[in-house]
Chain A
Amino acid sequence: MTEIFGVPTQALMGQLMIGLVNGSFYAMLSLGLAVIFGMLNVVNFAHGAFYMMGAFFSWMLLNYFGVNYWWSLLLAPVGVALVGIVIEKTMLRWLYQLDHLYGLLLTFGIALIIEGIFRDQYGVSGQPYDLPEIFKGAFDLGFMMLPKYRAWVVVACLSVCLATWFVIERTRLGSYLRAGTENPKLAQAFGINVPLMVTLTYAFGVGLAGLAGVLAAPVYQVSPLMGSNIIIVVFAVVVIGGMGSILGAILTGLALGLIEGLTKVFYPEASATVVFVIMAIVLLIRPAGLFGREK
Chain B
Amino acid sequence: MFEVLFIGLSLTSVLLLIALGLSITYGAMGVINMAHGELVMIGAYTAVLAGIHLGFNIFLSLPLAFVVAALVGLLIERVVIRRLYGRIIDTLLATWGVAIILQQLIRLEFGLTFFGISIEGLGPGLQNMRVPTFMMEPFDLMGLSIQPYRTFILCVTILLTALTWYLVYRTAIGVQVRAIMRNPQMAAACGIDVRRVSALTFAYGSGLAGVAGVLLAGFRTVMPDMGATVVVDGFLVVVVGGVGSLLGTILSSALLGQINGIVSVFSNDIIARAVVFGVVIAIILWRPRGLFSFKSR
Q: Tell whether A pairs with B.
A: no
